Amino acid sequence: MDTRSLTTPFTDDDVASLRAGDLVRISGVIYGARDAAHGRMVEALERGEPQPVDLRGQVIYYVGPAPAKPGHVIGPAGPTTSGRMDPYTVQMLEQGVKGFIGKGYRSDAIKAALVTYRAVYFAAVGGAAALLARHITASRVVAYPDLGPEAIRELTVVDFPAIVVNDVWGGDAYKKLEVGD
């Protein structure tokens, strides 16, 4: 299977061209954020405040990286469980997010929202945090520094490997892999 190269920010055409099961390499800027940062972003929206970064066309990576060793831009940076972000996902989609990277399944409601809002969910390989960090060439905290590893980070990535799990057409790579389907 061929691997697709994509550059952020994504357009509607970019995400519409992807299908569940596609292998991709993402380059450009993505944003790292986990539970606590998502909670703060949603609270800001509820108060009518702007987001700390422009999320239109962006990809959110569910990651809380470990501290960087000397000479490295980031420590191990593996994906966290995506289902924990489901309560915040629709609000992020409403802000124009076009992709999410994590691990594990998404709820049926989130899979439907990805179709409605024309966005995709990617999986990165869990347990490969040190290898994934090699694809991150720059990292800086852009919001909520008091959250430590859960702060929002702007990450510059080069050929970051991922698999399309849920696409804008309702495709689900995990269902394709289930025995008996």
What pLDDT digit, counting tens, does each position of 4-50 carry?
999 999 999 999 999 999 999 999 999 999 999 999 999 999 999 99
Over the stretch 87-98, which tens digit does the pLDDT of each residue have?
999 999 999 999
3-state secondary structure the chain: CCEEEEECCCCHHHHHCCCCCCEEEEEEEEEECCHHHHHHHHHHHHCCCCCCCCCCCCEEECECCCCCCCCCCCCCCCECEHHHHHHHHHHHHHCCCCEEEEECCCCHHHHHHHHHHCCEEEECCCCCHHHHHCCEEEEEEEECHHHHHHCEEEEEEEEEEEEEEECCCCCEHHHHHCCCC
Over the stretch 139-165, which tens digit does the pLDDT of each residue have?
999 999 999 999 999 999 999 999 999
Report whether pLDDT(2) > 90: no
What pLDDT shows up at residue 1?
63
Q: Mean pLDDT of all residues in the chain?
A: 94
Domains in the chain: ranges and CATH: 3-177 (3.20.130.10)
Report whether pLDDT(125) > 80: yes
State mean pLDDT over 101-114: 97
Report whether pLDDT(175) > 80: yes
What pLDDT shows up at residue 127?
78
pTM of the model: 0.94
Catalytic residue numbers read 38
What pLDDT shows up at residue 105?
94
